[in-house]
Amino acid sequence: SAVISQKPSRDICQRGTSLTIQCQVDSQVTMMFWYRQQPGQSLTLIATANQGSEATYESGFVIDKFPISRPNLTFSTLTVSNMSPEDSSIYLCSATRGSAKQETQYFGPGTRLLVL
Partner 1 sequence: DQQVKQNSPSLSVQEGRISILNCDYTNSMFDYFLWYKKYPAEGPTFLISISSIKDKNEDGRFTVFLNKSAKHLSLHIVPSQPGDSAVYFCAASQGGTSYGKLTFGQGTILTVHP
Site string for partner 1, 29-68 (x = CB under 8 A): -xx-x-------xxxxx--x---------x----------
Task: Work out whether 107 is an interface residue with partner 1 (CB under 8 A).
Answer: yes
26 binding partner 1? (CB under 8 A): no
Residue 32, CB half-sphere, CA atoms under 13 Å: how many? 34
When the beta carbons of 88 and 96 are compared against partner 1, the nearer one is 96
DSSP per-residue string spanning 55-73: -EEPTT--TTTS-EEEEET
Q: Is 106 in the site for partner 1 (CB under 8 A)?
A: yes
> Based on CB atoms, which residue is closest to partner 1, 79 or 105?
105
Hey, how many other C-beta atoms are within 10 angstroms of the C-beta on 66?
A: 19
Q: Do residues 70 and 50 touch, judged by C-beta distance below 8 A? A: yes
Which residues here bind partner 1, judged by CB under 8 A? 1, 4, 30-31, 33, 41-45, 48, 58, 92, 94, 96, 98, 102-110, 112
